[in-house]
Structure 1
Amino acid sequence: MAKIKIPYNKKMLEVDIPDKNLAAVLQSGSESYTTKLTQEEIVEQALDNPIGSKSLEELVKGKNNMVIITSDHTRPVPSKITLPILLRRIRKVNPEIDIKILIATGFHRPTTREEMIDKFGENIVNNEQIINHLSQNKDDLALIGTLPSGGELWINKLAVEAELVISEGFIEPHFFAGFSGGRKSILPGIAAAGTIMWNHNSEFINSNNARTGKLLKNPIHEDMLFAAQKAGLAFIMNVVIDKDKKIIHAVSGDSKLAHEEGCKFVSNLSSIKSVKGDIVISSNGGYPLDQNIYQSVKGMTAAEACCKDGSVIIMVSACNDGHGGESFYKNMAEAKSPQEVLDKVLKVSKNETKPDQWEFQILARILSKNKVIMVTDMCDTKIIKDMHMDHASTIEEALNKAYKLKGNDAKVVVIPDGVSVVVTD
């Protein structure tokens, strides 16, 4: 009997899988990766050795103002560590520079003050200029160009008007952009809603190159790269974190070159061979990524890569914040079946992309071939069932349901943290 721990909210759940059923436990190398450096030392070392760029200090000299783009409440970037280091190094060479911290909310809701304190620490929240990006507030936006795919590139005016734009973030596998981090600070991070929706259109989402771990010929990534260059993203500091959200690696420098180096590190650490299962258990890595169903689709895609047609996915995710997007919920709930959602969405042109369309498109793709059981005791069951999924309060309950569907000899694949892996064929 194998005992396996799975992240859930801010704790770990334990599941027992009989040896006869367990096909594989698939984990990122970050689970066992060790370093003798402290988190602070890793960040400092990366900033001391920028990739393809002048140092942060050189870029800051002589500037009157700058914008630091940072991630929102849905991303586990350890900003309590990274931001103080960035601010100290900036002010050491330019004490008078005006610094605005712009939260890259993308199409998400604004980050609350309580969430800011949790993420940045009370000292930064009380003493720095922190602004939520609002993607639908036209007065905050400026048109700076046209994307390679033809869409208009609108971004936050604060970044356009700043003498220097830098960003911090983290790099992990991403279910349609290939990897997070780098250029994503601009698009979708501080882009207009219309620009985000154009970039996340159904044609691009349907591309076989718009998948976890893929950057080459990924149409979504290509637009994002252009946006970062056009916006003048001069410098990035991106970290890689482990299952405990601790920093194990960092890169800094040019927004493209440094990001690519960070992606190589993550790819080498996180790539795992697919093992097909009748039942696949996954999670979203716990808090903060498992706050809603919207974000939980990411962890489902890792499970999807290990499914046979007709497999059962058991998705362990708190979803304490509900569905995570009204359009996401309604488009799933109002359809008779996931296939109906897919049929409709693939007919939608780029300039008519609906809010959250990319998320319900991917969820519908998964549900059109597999059954999903959401494991949570923190989310309204009706929401889950409305969206064509089943519900269980515990992993044991979900497994019992899955065994009834797939048989007592069903093979089980467990991916303890679905957002931390790149599943390859």
Structure 2
Amino acid sequence: MIMEIPYGSETISFNIPEENLLFVGTLKETRGQTQLAEAVRKSLDEPFGCLPLKDCVHPKDNVLILIEDATRSTPVKEILPVLVDYLLDCGLTLENLEILTAPGSHRILTDAEILEKVGPELIDKIKISQHDYQNESSMVTMPSVLVNGFEIPVQVNRKALEADFIIGIGNIIPHSDAGFSGGAKILQPGICGYPTTAATHISAAMLDEIPLGVVDNPCRLGMEEVAKQAGLKFIINTVKNHRGEVIEVVSGDFVTAHREGARISRNAFSVEMPELADIVVVSSYPADLDFWQALKGVTAAYFAVKPGGTIIFASPCYEGLAHNHPKFEEWLQLSYTHILQKTKSAPVDDKSIDLISAVLAVCNSRAREKAEILVVSNGLSDDAVNVLGYKRVASVQAAIDDLLLKNNKLSIGVLPRGGDCLPVLTGL
């Protein structure tokens, strides 16, 4: 059978013998909103877990609006005009509003990316600032929070404390650390400093299993405690389908609304498997910018492949391994056990250790120690492939042919959207 998977803006085609094909992780067909602006405005008046937004804000409030970076696909420039008009109808002025980019520990946005994210309609009308987690002078330290007895230091962009009301805009898809993206995640890690992000994320690495799709886990709960401490008041989150259409807008309390969105997202992004496959072909799409994002595809394949099997991983990784994390390569070379040993004794406020990188390296080491990983990538250098512990192959087809030549009984599963799917075993 001829199969196709996305590879950035292109596609990769390959043939799998019909008798070897076990599953294709095709996402469910769900209908998108035909009137997104109306759906957004309705969600502001009918939120989950709180009063309508018009009853929460006051005309004299300084409102801070948090938006994601270029690695996320929320239709921010469609949502922002609706939100701004709504706030103006509530008696606020443009001078009361400020947009703050919330890239977490990712690089800051380029001017072109900000324009694409905000849109030409508002780019010159509202003050726009960028959060840079490496700029410690822009941070303030707040009292720590406790989650399951684990202390999380709270370091947040000072603009959060200067605001009267904080609104976060995001999208909800399965996520390997936080269970699902969205919700409080726009604030933590969005506009926090290194120690806060290190502390929340390392709690996910310590779990017995990667918490992909598990919403009530220590990482997510830590993010929510930080968001409460920092004053996140309201979220506007979309849930999209595999065509990029918004199927639902959930707004309101950052916990209650998020849980509703996560329920919808689980249904939209779950892919069913009758059993684990000997070989899993996975694309990182739509998480293609760099390996820091593309690792989501490897993580999805981890849940779909048999122990001792093979993952064929296809990702352009346009910008290489990662930005802002020079220690990432060191962590990637360590075994799962070694990473855990080092992280247990590492102070979360020591930026030189880069525990945030350790968390991602845990996902990679778990996958690498469960299965052999073959990679097709133009963006990853040979040195990067070696650091990851993968083997480069000329093509997906060449890898399949070689594996079936050795054993023509091997079962094959395909995950065309490893970057946002949630593999679920139906045979359990």
TM-score (norm 1): 0.91
Confirm or deny that 1:126 pairs with 2:143. no
| Matching residue of 1:84 | 81
* Counterparts of 1:348 and 1:111, CA distance in 2: 34
| Matching residue of 1:282 | 282
* Counterparts of 2:312 and 2:89, CA distance in 1: 50
* Counterparts of 1:104 and 1:192, CA distance in 2: 11
* Counterparts of 2:210 and 2:22, CA distance in 1: 28
- Alignment check: 8 A CA contact 1:72 1:104 kept: yes
Q: Which runs of 4+ in 1 moved over 4 A?
A: none
Listed one character per residue, the Cα deviations across residues 106-141 of structure 1 (whole Å, up to 9, x for unaligned) are 111111111122222233333332211111222111
- Three-state SS of the structure 1 residue aligned to 2:212 is coil
| Matching residue of 2:66 | 69
Listed one character per residue, the Cα deviations across residues 240-292 of structure 1 (whole Å, up to 9, x for unaligned) are 11223221111001111111111111123333444311110122223xx2111
Q: How does 1:197-276 map to 2 (within 5 A)?
A: 197-201=198-202, 204-208=204-208, 211-216=211-216, 218-274=217-273, 275-276=275-276
- Alignment check: 8 A CA contact 2:61 2:92 kept: no
One-letter amino acid matched to 2:115: I
1:64, CA displacement in angstroms? 3.5
One-letter amino acid matched to 1:261: E
Q: How does 1:298-309 map to 2 (within 5 A)?
A: 298-309=296-307
- Alignment check: 8 A CA contact 2:183 2:235 kept: yes
* Counterparts of 1:62 and 1:14, CA distance in 2: 56
One-letter amino acid matched to 2:47: P
* Counterparts of 1:422 and 1:83, CA distance in 2: 29
Of the three residues 57, 64, 67, the one matched with 1:60 is 57
Distance 1:117 1:5, change over 3 A: farther
- Alignment check: 8 A CA contact 1:341 1:361 kept: no
* % same residue: 28
* Counterparts of 1:35 and 1:291, CA distance in 2: 25
* Counterparts of 2:106 and 2:290, CA distance in 1: 12
One-letter amino acid matched to 1:200: H
Listed one character per residue, the Cα deviations across residues 164-200 of structure 1 (whole Å, up to 9, x for unaligned) are 1011000000012111000101111111111111112
- Alignment check: 8 A CA contact 1:28 1:420 kept: no
* Counterparts of 1:283 and 1:329, CA distance in 2: 22
* Counterparts of 1:142 and 1:82, CA distance in 2: 29
One-letter amino acid matched to 1:13: I
1:85, CA displacement in angstroms? 1.5
One-letter amino acid matched to 1:282: V
One-letter amino acid matched to 1:98: N
Structure 1 residues 176-185 or 119-128, which shifts more? 119-128
| Matching residue of 1:43 | 40
- Three-state SS of the structure 1 residue aligned to 2:319 is coil
- Alignment check: 8 A CA contact 1:176 1:220 kept: yes
Confirm or deny that 1:316 pairs with 2:317. no
- Alignment check: 8 A CA contact 2:206 2:340 kept: no
| Matching residue of 1:181 | 182
Listed one character per residue, the Cα deviations across residues 196-226 of structure 1 (whole Å, up to 9, x for unaligned) are 111122x53131365111123x111111111
One-letter amino acid matched to 1:123: E
* Counterparts of 1:262 and 1:131, CA distance in 2: 28
One-letter amino acid matched to 1:58: D
Distance 1:175 1:13, change over 3 A: same
- Alignment check: 8 A CA contact 1:39 1:246 kept: no
One-letter amino acid matched to 2:105: F
1:155, CA displacement in angstroms? 0.7
Q: How does 1:372-411 map to 2 (within 5 A)?
A: 372-403=373-404, 407-411=407-411
- Alignment check: 8 A CA contact 2:32 2:246 kept: no
* Counterparts of 1:398 and 1:121, CA distance in 2: 43
- Alignment check: 8 A CA contact 1:377 1:393 kept: no
Listed one character per residue, the Cα deviations across residues 88-118 of structure 1 (whole Å, up to 9, x for unaligned) are 2112323424211111111111111111222
| Matching residue of 2:416 | 416
Structure 1 residues 342-351 or 218-227, which shifts more? 342-351
CA RMSD of aligned residues (A): 2.2
Distance 1:123 1:410, change over 3 A: same
Structure 2, unpaired ranges of 5+: none
Number of corresponding residues: 414
Structure 1 residues 357-366 or 7-16, which shifts more? 7-16
Distance 1:209 1:40, change over 3 A: farther
- Three-state SS of the structure 2 residue aligned to 1:135 is coil
Structure 1 residues 9-18 or 258-267, which shifts more? 9-18
| Matching residue of 2:291 | 293
One-letter amino acid matched to 1:329: E
Confirm or deny that 1:33 pairs with 2:34. no
One-letter amino acid matched to 2:176: F
Structure 1, unpaired ranges of 5+: none
One-letter amino acid matched to 1:253: G
- Three-state SS of the structure 2 residue aligned to 1:150 is strand
* Counterparts of 2:337 and 2:270, CA distance in 1: 33
TM-score (norm 2): 0.90
1:401, CA displacement in angstroms? 4.4
One-letter amino acid matched to 2:374: I
- Alignment check: 8 A CA contact 1:278 1:412 kept: yes
Structure 1 residues 262-271 or 63-72, which shifts more? 262-271
- Alignment check: 8 A CA contact 2:303 2:423 kept: yes
Structure 1 residues 48-57 or 269-278, which shifts more? 269-278
